[in-house]
Amino acid sequence: MGSPPPLPLIFVLLIFPFSAPSRASVVARLPGFRGPLPFYLETGYVEVDEVNEAELFYYFIESERNPIEDPLLLWLTGGPRCSAFCGLVFEVGEPVSNMIFLDSPAGSGFSFSRHAEGYDAGDRSWSKHAHTFLLKWFIDHPKFLSNPLYIAGDSYAGKIVPIVTQEVLNGIEAGKQPPLNLQIYLVEEEEATKAIATDNGGQAEVKEVGDGGEEELDHHIVNAISGGYKRGRSGRR
């Protein structure tokens, strides 16, 4: 008799119990691929909401160049609620940067909540959970704290990336630990200060948060090219 068909990749990556938040597992081999994987792949859960017991699932792949010094990029897939697995297999890779593909918010991919309220995630709570994820992930992976941190995404994540960025910046200013080495750049008028890289969802600077919680976005295009930045302005939405 022939060997049984290999399990789908998506199920192989989910190899540890749901009751293990902030724990990770290294995936060294996959069905259909001969020998060990030629890159470091880690999957895991991080609890981001203790009240609703919500946990976010992630895929972490080390840079193929120099993971100790190369940038670390958090990738958020749009939708909303599309799995980051799409970004991993179809959109971006890790030859020159460490990559975290995050299933967020709860209900995306393998991310879940033990209470229904944990799935009621608007843009603001989604962004707070992403920030909480980063803080806890770095506590478990302190060797990457000095790596430049970038936050990026596509489609609907074009709305989320600026808000996550503001959450991270607020946390840095408030002295939250561990300190995150945020290295994105935003453009204000003609002067480049800090910035966000996103896809068709929009490139934006969070200028002001009003009493109603609505962000006023000043849209710009910022592309990293050969170590520098090429700037251009997009129309307001």
Question: Is-cis flag, bond preceding 80, omega within 30?
Answer: yes
Question: Which parts of 94-179 are beta strand (E)?
Answer: 98-103, 112-113, 149-153
3-state secondary structure of 103: strand
Does residue 220 belong to any structural domain of this protein? no
Does residue 189 belong to any structural domain of this protein? yes
Does residue 215 belong to any structural domain of this protein? no
Neighbour-count burial of 154, counting CB atoms closer than 10 A to its CB (0-12 exposed, 13-18 middle, 19+ buried): buried
Does residue 212 belong to any structural domain of this protein? no
24-38, 98-112, 192-206: the lowest-pLDDT one: 192-206
- Whichever domain contains 169, its CATH number is 3.40.50.1820
Does residue 105 belong to any structural domain of this protein? yes
pLDDT of residue 44: 94
Number of domains observed in the structure of the chain: 1
Does residue 159 belong to any structural domain of this protein? yes
pLDDT of residue 66: 92
Is pTM beyond 0.75 here? no
Print the domain residue range for 173. 25-194
Whole-angstrom Cα distance, residue 16 to residue 110?
12
Does residue 190 belong to any structural domain of this protein? yes
Highest mean pLDDT among 44-48, 95-99, 210-214: 44-48
**12 vs 126, higher pLDDT:** 126
Does residue 135 belong to any structural domain of this protein? yes
